[in-house]
A and B are shown apart, each in its own frame.
Chain A
Amino acid sequence: MDFQTRSMRLNNARRKVTNYLVSGLSILATIIVIVPLIAILFYLIYKGASSLNLAFFTHIPAPVGEEGGGMANSIVGSGIILLLASLMGVPIGIAAGVYLAEFGRGKALATAVRFTADVLNGVPSIVMGISIYSLIVIQQKHFSALAGGVALGIMMIPTITRTTEEMLATVPHAIREAALGLGVPKWRTAISVSLRTASPGIITGCMLAFARVAGETAPLLFTAFGNQFWSLKLNEPIAALPLQIYVYAISPYDEWHRLAWAGALVLIVMIMVSVTLVRIVANRGVLKGGS
């Protein structure tokens, strides 16, 4: 009897120790992860803030070797490319999401589309870049903002499709039935009832997709290509913020490094704003939402 209780006691002690050990390890892991990441974030903000000035937003880069200059052309260029991308990606993505949620419920085709969209989201962006290069740039024999916009636009589609579908799925079926019962045709119900009710979430999804492609560099390497000067034409190479950050980061010039840090800060702030907005809208939607 003594033998049994002693081994039982040993066993219990071992289990307790294991328990504390694992708890300790997971806390350690969290600290190992969080602390350096916060450090990275603060370093980026510090370096970026000290490099940022008004000229950054209003000037184009100075000639090599000179001080000053900014990334105004990259900011505007990014804006143009993202506008093109959104014009392409948002309507198609939302429409595909509407199909999945309103017309395709339960059908095998819808499942296949959903799965393919998820898988597409994992395809490296550089593959998208070389595909559009092969399609548009080779044909046109020059780089262009248009090609960049198309590349980013295609990347937005699967993301927006999935988030639109998920948001539409939260719309209670009862209110669709209410509209159908009133003799409202299905297309009108989808637009004026389903989309309208889910619109905060859908807009959030579009913002997320937008923020994601706004930071993409690889697809632009072979499409928009980058430009040291002002360019507003869709058929010419154009500067983009992440692209220029890359070019300046690997360059040997200190002045360009400064621009890269500042640009990185602008990107991070934009990301922070979108992530925060997404959280606010998501929480509000849950609290406010339909029955």
Chain B
Amino acid sequence: MGVGILVEDLNAWYGTTHTLQDINLHIPANHATALIGPSGCGKSTFVRCLNRMHETNPIARATGVVRMGEVDIYKDASPVEIRRRVGMVFQRPNPFPTMSIYDNVVSGLKLNGFRNRRILDETVERSLKQAALWEEVKDDLKKKSGASLSGGQQQRMCIARALAVDPEVLLMDEPASALDPVSTSKIEDLIFQLKSQYTIVIVTHNMQQAARVAENTGFFLNGKMVEFDSTHKIFTNPKDKRTEDYITGRFG
């Protein structure tokens, strides 16, 4: 089961650049929420604020409240604890090149000290099945390195890796943008199936993708969240003219 995220007055800076301004929104649990907007509008930064990855950059700073369930992720927990509960899939697949497929998938467990062999084996199978990769790699789990798979397979393995730690929230930053159409549609199917178990936030450039997979959509522009509503509403009858301009392709 996933958990809902409440964001209040979130502001973020990279050095002196004010990348996010007064973001307020609620991301419902067990739903997929898409974030759309032109390049540089701050949607990636926003998503990175949700698991405090924003802080890995020394000149980055954030203020405001992000509440995951009952927990204020900035006040009540450390970045490391939050990231264990929130999975992240990046734009380009980033498997660990020195590890086998098996080790890659359970890296979130093994690197945190988990040793139980039986549960690790089960987790590998469960996660790879969830990521629709199991059939393709089940015979080579320990023989092949994570980096030897194709791009689409690597990304699905990264999704499996994120799911292996059984997160409550899954953040996806343009997960299919570096992939071919076949892999993209496989990943979209995945998201469709996973969203009943996790809360998914997906950043995408592709409006059709947002329309296909997400119940709710938020439109970002220049560091502000312009509009947030059900996907159907955003794409058929947006309230804000800027949203409408973006949707109809007048810019971005």
Assembly CA distance A291 to B91 (angstroms): 14
Residues from chain A with a CB closer than 8 A to the CB of B58 are 105-106
Tell me the nearest residue of chain B to A185, going by C-beta: B80
Contact B92 A178 (CB under 8 A): no
Contact B94 A174 (CB under 8 A): yes
Assembly CA distance A290 to B97 (angstroms): 6
Q: Does B236 touch A at the CB level, under 8 Å?
A: no
Q: Does A181 touch B at the CB level, under 8 Å?
A: yes
Contact B97 A197 (CB under 8 A): yes
- State the Cβ distance, B133 to closest chain A Cβ, in Å: 17
Known: A174-B90, A291-B147. A181 touches B53 (CB 8 A): yes
Assembly CA distance A189 to B107 (angstroms): 11
Q: Does B200 touch A at the CB level, under 8 Å?
A: no
Q: Does B96 touch A at the CB level, under 8 Å?
A: yes
Q: Does B190 touch A at the CB level, under 8 Å?
A: no
Size of the chain A interface, CB-CB below 8 angstroms: 24
Q: Which of B82, B90, B98, B147 contacts A177 (CB 8 A)?
A: B90
Q: Does A183 touch B at the CB level, under 8 Å?
A: yes
Residues from chain B with a CB closer than 8 A to the CB of A178 are 90, 94-96, 158, 161
Q: Which of A105, A183, A188, A196 contacts B84 (CB 8 A)?
A: A183
- State the Cβ distance, B111 to closest chain A Cβ, in Å: 5
Residues from chain A with a CB closer than 8 A to the CB of B53 are 177, 180-181
Residues from chain A with a CB closer than 8 A to the CB of B96 are 175, 178-179, 193, 197
Q: Does B165 touch A at the CB level, under 8 Å?
A: yes
Q: Does A91 touch B at the CB level, under 8 Å?
A: no
Assembly CA distance A193 to B96 (angstroms): 7
Contact A182 B162 (CB under 8 A): yes
- State the Cβ distance, A203 to closest chain B Cβ, in Å: 13
Contact A175 B162 (CB under 8 A): no
- State the Cβ distance, A124 to closest chain B Cβ, in Å: 38
- State the Cβ distance, A177 to closest chain B Cβ, in Å: 7
Task: Select the residue from B81, B97, B162 with max chain A CB neighbours within 10 A.
Answer: B97
Q: Which of B56, B92, B98, B108 contacts A182 (CB 8 A)?
A: B108
- State the Cβ distance, A38 to closest chain B Cβ, in Å: 40
Q: Does B112 touch A at the CB level, under 8 Å?
A: yes
Contact B51 A181 (CB under 8 A): yes
Which residues of A from 149 to 190 have beta carbons under 8 Å from B? Answer: 172, 174-175, 177-185, 188-189
Q: Does A235 touch B at the CB level, under 8 Å?
A: no
Assembly CA distance A188 to B88 (angstroms): 18
Q: Does A192 touch B at the CB level, under 8 Å?
A: yes
Contact B94 A175 (CB under 8 A): yes
Contact A180 B83 (CB under 8 A): yes
Residues from chain B with a CB closer than 8 A to the CB of A289 are 97
Contact A177 B56 (CB under 8 A): yes
In the complex, per-residue mask of B89-119: 1 if CB is within 8 Å of any chain A CB, else 0: 0101011111000000001100110000000
Assembly CA distance A177 to B162 (angstroms): 12
Tell me the nearest residue of chain B to A180, going by C-beta: B56
Which residues of B from 3 to 54 have beta carbons under 8 Å from A? Answer: 51, 53
- State the Cβ distance, A18 to closest chain B Cβ, in Å: 50
Contact A179 B111 (CB under 8 A): yes
Q: Which of B82, B108, B158 contacts A184 (CB 8 A)?
A: B108
Tell me the nearest residue of chain A to B111, going by C-beta: A184
Assembly CA distance A73 to B80 (angstroms): 54
- State the Cβ distance, A290 to closest chain B Cβ, in Å: 5
Contact A184 B112 (CB under 8 A): yes
Assembly CA distance A66 to B65 (angstroms): 87
Residues from chain A with a CB closer than 8 A to the CB of B98 are 196-197, 199
Contact B107 A179 (CB under 8 A): yes
Assembly CA distance A206 to B82 (angstroms): 38
Residues from chain A with a CB closer than 8 A to the CB of B112 are 182-184, 188
Residues from chain A with a CB closer than 8 A to the CB of B165 are 182-183
Which residues of A from 217 to 262 have beta carbons under 8 Å from B? Answer: none
Assembly CA distance A106 to B57 (angstroms): 11
Residues from chain A with a CB closer than 8 A to the CB of B108 are 182-184
Which residues of B from 161 to 200 have beta carbons under 8 Å from A? Answer: 161-162, 165
Assembly CA distance A182 to B97 (angstroms): 16
Assembly CA distance A199 to B96 (angstroms): 14
Which residues of B from 216 to 239 have beta carbons under 8 Å from A? Answer: none
Assembly CA distance A193 to B103 (angstroms): 12
Contact A183 B107 (CB under 8 A): no
Can you list 12 pairs linking A and B with CB atoms under 8 Å apart?
A172-B94, A174-B92, A178-B158, A180-B53, A180-B56, A181-B90, A182-B84, A182-B162, A183-B83, A183-B85, A183-B165, A289-B97
Known: A178-B90, A182-B107. 5 other contacts (CB 8 A): A182-B108, A182-B111, A183-B165, A185-B80, A291-B147
Interface of A with B (CB < 8 Å)?
Answer: 105-106, 172, 174-175, 177-185, 188-189, 192-193, 196-197, 199, 289-291
